[in-house]
Chains A and B, each alone.
Chain A
Amino acid sequence: MTPSIFEPVSTPAYAIRELAFFVLGLTGAVFVVVTALVVYTLVRFGRRRDDDGSEPPQVYGSARIELAWTVVPFLLVVILALVTTRYIYGIEGREQPPEALEVTVVGNQWWWEIRYPKLGIVTANEIHVPAGDATRPAPAFITLQSADVVHSFWIPQLAGKMDVIPNKTNRTWIDPRKPGVYVGQCAEYCGVQHAWMLLRVVVQPRDEFDRWVATQQAAAASDPATHAGARLFASLACINCHTVRGTPANGVFGPDLTHLMSRHTLGAGVARNTPEKLRAWVEDPEAMKPGALMPPMKLSGDELTQLTAYLLTLR
């Protein structure tokens, strides 16, 4: 799952790779020529063993040579600037088509809130989008906001990064053409757990995506077997920070937990979403992600078992 910028699956990332090859070609050529020149000079004009200590001819300059090596780089720069500008406008200047999926991403210390305003979905750390293809792209336009400090939204295989800045709304777009899971993470230092603010984009065939949407839109499951855990959740401070749609819990400081178990990871990527890890997270988030803002709830073993059982029903 290496997020290489040279393995794009979405138009902005393809465009950037194309541009990158052009730039690498240009700079590579310059590198080869100049290196060869330097190597030749060092080898050819090293002092010989039989050097008599006399000074070589002193050459003070040459207007013609100096003009040439000013003009040629200048022309290269002009070409590069023109090509670059075309790509800037092509990628950043793209208008949002009417059929685009709209996603809002809100960066928090140290997790991502993901909202689909038109679909009524709120989730965390994992974005699902339908896959398009070269003939029928499926663009998703992403609005970027921050709840606290500056973050940066980066999934290399899908697009270049865009900062997530408080008091400023940014915008980026992707149109993945191949199903799969594409990883990324926050790319602007945002505090102690910047390293574990991971991102996953799950690109699914259209029918799978529609099923995911339907699941996410539903209210929370309610299983009488886990009633004890549900009651614990409601009575503890959990509801102050977390939302579980269909229950009184409507806190907004932490991730929406309505469909917690539909996600691959916990703690914005710090652990896989398994029952054991979930239990350990609830018991002491600090142990898995030092500095995380969720406090340990100091529950007894039984309380922990009941609460975890309840959370496991939130699919």
Chain B
Amino acid sequence: MSVLARPVPSAEITAARTWLEHAHDWVVTVDHKRLGIMYVVSGIVFLLVAGAEATLMRIQLAWPELHVLPPETFNRLFTMHGTTMVFFVGIPIVFGFGNYLVPLMIGARDLAFPRLNAFGFWIFLFGGLLLHFSFIGGEGLYGSGSAPAVGWFAYAPLSGRAFTPGNATDYWNLSVFIAGIGTVGTAINIVATTLTMRGPGMTLSRLPIFVWTILTVSTMTLFILPPLSAAQIMLLLDRYLGAHYFDTQAGGSAVMWQHFFWFFGHPEVYVLMLPGFGFVSEIVPVFSRKVIFGYATLVAATVAIGAVSLSTWAHHMFVVGMGTGLNAFFGLSTMLIAVPTGIKLFNWIATMYGGRIRFSVPMLFCCAFLFQFLCAGLTGVMLSVAPFDWQLSDSYFVVAHFHFVLIGGLVFTIFAAIYYWFPKATGRMLGERLGRWHFWLFVVGFNVTFLTMHIPGLLGMPRRIYTYPADRGWEMWNLVTTLGVPLQAIAILIFAVNVVVSLRRGAPAGDDPWDAWTLEWATTSPPPAYNFETVPVVSSRRPLWDLKHPDDPDGPHE
């Protein structure tokens, strides 16, 4: 149902190309769509690696005092798992979707700085490969050349030279630092694109909510990523040039690392989650057949979350001994953020209310997200209550909470987004039947594992332990937690099969398979390199609704 773009390929473009020429095209590309796809695919590959790491850990923890993995290996696994998931799965997939969708959604032909875009991708990939090279980099003295084992937040002074000699920690430090350079570049790119390259009629107040979320998190990235890079430079100087930034024996402060890290680390999780909200804000309206309820408040809530999140970081440090005043302040700021976040949930419910909901696979993932994110948000509120956090911090309750946010929230919305936009990117639909199997196995397995996981936390089980004594009463809960893992693994496998099979034999998608309303559905699937033959002129937030319903356009209602 493409209304506007009808590219006419020349013979040269359609002549058969060797696989080497194809590969070359992808390696040298500066096309935001190809880079976006490469980001997402790389992120999914790293997801499989980190998922395997988690599986090994859960096997080791299934029963008390097992000896499946020695302690050093377990400690490396949880470090690599966390680091990979945040920096090499979450960030690239989120910015990958941003890369792909932002120009299409705002009526631009590419991002502002295409070469910077390509640079950002390749440097991220290099960082990811560098981190994983540490697995085979060599044992060295005390395993010091191997994968890092300092936890994904590498607290000082454990991460200093005195307590972690050798190069393991440097793999963590450098790979994340290098990838961070690419992320800042991409953030600059997206902000410049969104502010200066919108198509005719596309005012800021007509941007799709997804674009607002990506704009917000890109702006946040400019403020919060450099502090992590700064702290990592300081750590590098400590480890190699004898500096004392975090050297407590020379008067340095271990807590200062935590402040710098979490000043980045907390807003970072909103950087990950807000685009997930963006996905939901695009998908739920289409499958409810209703306009998003309360566009302006959703945008305001997005920006508010972004801004307030910069003031909440020390809720990760309630047990550090900051004192009553700071504990109270950060508790309050963290509770405040629940308000705009809750508002979003209500907006989505109100969108579905009165609609005609189609439960296709993207919508299934969004529905599960609604329940799961509600849980995640509420356990977050529990954790913001500082004295309660004095019990829950650093326990499996926190681990369960953030997996509910990042898997139950982010990963579910990422799957929704993949099922929703895969047809646009490839011209083929993902299998609906396999998709339902993927969904149901995954949602059951996820909840079996992570709902159960809250309980050992409440019973006093701390995190990052490679085993636990038999007399603590934790074994049944750990066993059940582990039993959810195979279900999730099979679900992901089915998803991978679905992707591979659908690339070849999926039903042809056409321009607009979901009967949607934003600009990316106004061009072919996949779009031509130049996105739109003529850039469409928009006069409302749902340009395609206006075209399909000329008798009742959106403009006057907005």
Q: List the interface of chain A (C-beta within 8 A of B).
A: 1-6, 13, 15-16, 19-20, 23-24, 27, 30-31, 34-35, 37-38, 41-42, 45-48, 51, 55-62, 65-66, 69-70, 73-74, 77, 80-81, 84-85, 87-89, 91-93, 109, 148-150, 152, 154, 156-157, 159-163, 165-168, 170-171, 183-195, 198, 269, 290-291
Chain B residue at minimum C-beta to C-beta distance from A166: B248
- Minimum CB–CB distance from B220 to chain A (whole Å) comes to 22
Q: Give Cα A4 to B463, complex, Å.
A: 15
Known: A88-B331, A167-B254, A192-B75. A27 touches B357 (CB 8 A): no
Q: Which of B371, B379, B385 has the largest number of chain A CB atoms within 10 A? A: B385
B490 within 8 A of A: no
Selected from B255, B290, B319, the residue in CB contact (under 8 A) with A58 is B290
Selected from B157, B382, B463, the residue in CB contact (under 8 A) with A24 is B382
B18 within 8 A of A: no
Selected from B295, B321, B352, B463, the residue in CB contact (under 8 A) with A168 is B321
Selected from A31, A92, A185, the residue in CB contact (under 8 A) with B378 is A31
- A27-B460 in contact (CB<8A): no
Chain B residue at minimum C-beta to C-beta distance from A182: B460
Q: Give Cα A59 to B393, complex, Å.
A: 42
For B381, what are the chain A residues with a Cβ–Cβ distance below 8 Å?
23, 27, 80
Selected from B328, B339, B384, B474, the residue in CB contact (under 8 A) with A74 is B339
B338 within 8 A of A: yes
Known: A23-B381, A163-B319. A290 touches B343 (CB 8 A): no
For B549, what are the chain A residues with a Cβ–Cβ distance below 8 Å?
55
B358 within 8 A of A: yes
For A160, what are the chain B residues with a Cβ–Cβ distance below 8 Å?
319, 387, 389-391
For B390, what are the chain A residues with a Cβ–Cβ distance below 8 Å?
16, 91, 159-162
Q: Give Cα A290 to B557, complex, Å.
A: 68
Chain B residue at minimum C-beta to C-beta distance from A48: B356
How many A-B pairs have beta carbons closer than 8 Å: the answer is 272
For B70, what are the chain A residues with a Cβ–Cβ distance below 8 Å?
290
- Minimum CB–CB distance from A157 to chain B (whole Å) comes to 8
- A61-B71 in contact (CB<8A): no
For B385, what are the chain A residues with a Cβ–Cβ distance below 8 Å?
19, 23, 80, 84, 87
- B338-A45 in contact (CB<8A): no
- Residues 488-520 of B, flagged 1 when their CB comes within 8 A of A and 0 if not, give 000000000000000000000000000000000
A-B contact pairs, 26 of them (CB 8 A): A16-B390, A23-B385, A23-B388, A34-B349, A41-B352, A46-B356, A58-B552, A59-B354, A60-B291, A60-B293, A81-B331, A91-B387, A150-B157, A152-B394, A154-B462, A159-B390, A160-B390, A163-B319, A165-B254, A170-B321, A171-B321, A188-B394, A192-B72, A290-B70, A290-B72, A291-B72
Known: A4-B459, A4-B460. A59 touches B331 (CB 8 A): no
- A51-B356 in contact (CB<8A): yes
- Minimum CB–CB distance from B194 to chain A (whole Å) comes to 23
For B554, what are the chain A residues with a Cβ–Cβ distance below 8 Å?
58, 60
- Residues 460-500 of B, flagged 1 when their CB comes within 8 A of A and 0 if not, give 10111111110111100000000000000000000000000
- Minimum CB–CB distance from A270 to chain B (whole Å) comes to 9
Chain B residue at minimum C-beta to C-beta distance from A265: B469
- A45-B458 in contact (CB<8A): no
- B472-A84 in contact (CB<8A): no
- Minimum CB–CB distance from A40 to chain B (whole Å) comes to 9
- Minimum CB–CB distance from A226 to chain B (whole Å) comes to 31
B441 within 8 A of A: no
Q: Give Cα A69 to B342, complex, Å.
A: 8
For A92, what are the chain B residues with a Cβ–Cβ distance below 8 Å?
323-324, 327
Total interface residues in chain B, CB < 8 Å: 97
- A16-B378 in contact (CB<8A): no
- Minimum CB–CB distance from A38 to chain B (whole Å) comes to 5
Chain A residue at minimum C-beta to C-beta distance from B392: A5
Known: A30-B378, A58-B290, A81-B332. A149 touches B157 (CB 8 A): yes
For A187, what are the chain B residues with a Cβ–Cβ distance below 8 Å?
319, 393-395, 462-463
- Residues 310-352 of B, flagged 1 when their CB comes within 8 A of A and 0 if not, give 0000000001110110011001100110110011011101101
Chain A residue at minimum C-beta to C-beta distance from B321: A170
For chain B, residues 387 to 408, give those with C-beta under 8 angstroms from any C-beta of chain A.
Answer: 387-395
Chain A residue at minimum C-beta to C-beta distance from B541: A60
Chain A residue at minimum C-beta to C-beta distance from B340: A70
For A30, what are the chain B residues with a Cβ–Cβ distance below 8 Å?
378
- A189-B158 in contact (CB<8A): yes
For A191, what are the chain B residues with a Cβ–Cβ distance below 8 Å?
158, 163
- B382-A6 in contact (CB<8A): no
- Minimum CB–CB distance from B480 to chain A (whole Å) comes to 16
Supplied contacts A45-B356, A161-B391, 11 more A-B pairs, CB within 8 Å: A35-B374, A38-B367, A41-B353, A56-B289, A61-B295, A92-B324, A149-B254, A156-B460, A194-B464, A195-B71, A198-B469
For B252, what are the chain A residues with a Cβ–Cβ distance below 8 Å?
167
- B290-A59 in contact (CB<8A): yes
- B458-A6 in contact (CB<8A): yes
Q: Give Cα A157 to B393, complex, Å.
A: 15
Selected from B289, B296, B374, the residue in CB contact (under 8 A) with A31 is B374
- B349-A73 in contact (CB<8A): no
For A192, what are the chain B residues with a Cβ–Cβ distance below 8 Å?
71-72, 75, 149
- Minimum CB–CB distance from A251 to chain B (whole Å) comes to 19
For B293, what are the chain A residues with a Cβ–Cβ distance below 8 Å?
59-62
B288 within 8 A of A: yes
- B248-A5 in contact (CB<8A): no
- B343-A1 in contact (CB<8A): no
Known: A77-B338, A149-B158, A192-B72. A47 touches B388 (CB 8 A): no
- A59-B291 in contact (CB<8A): yes
- A84-B331 in contact (CB<8A): yes
- A56-B355 in contact (CB<8A): yes
- B149-A4 in contact (CB<8A): no
B249 within 8 A of A: yes
For B294, what are the chain A residues with a Cβ–Cβ distance below 8 Å?
60-62, 66
For A149, what are the chain B residues with a Cβ–Cβ distance below 8 Å?
155, 157-158, 163, 254
Chain A residue at minimum C-beta to C-beta distance from B328: A85
For B462, what are the chain A residues with a Cβ–Cβ distance below 8 Å?
152, 154, 185-187
- A88-B324 in contact (CB<8A): yes
For A166, what are the chain B residues with a Cβ–Cβ distance below 8 Å?
157, 248-249, 254
Q: Give Cα A168 to B303, complex, Å.
A: 37
Q: Give Cα A170 to B320, complex, Å.
A: 8
Chain B residue at minimum C-beta to C-beta distance from A109: B163
B558 within 8 A of A: yes
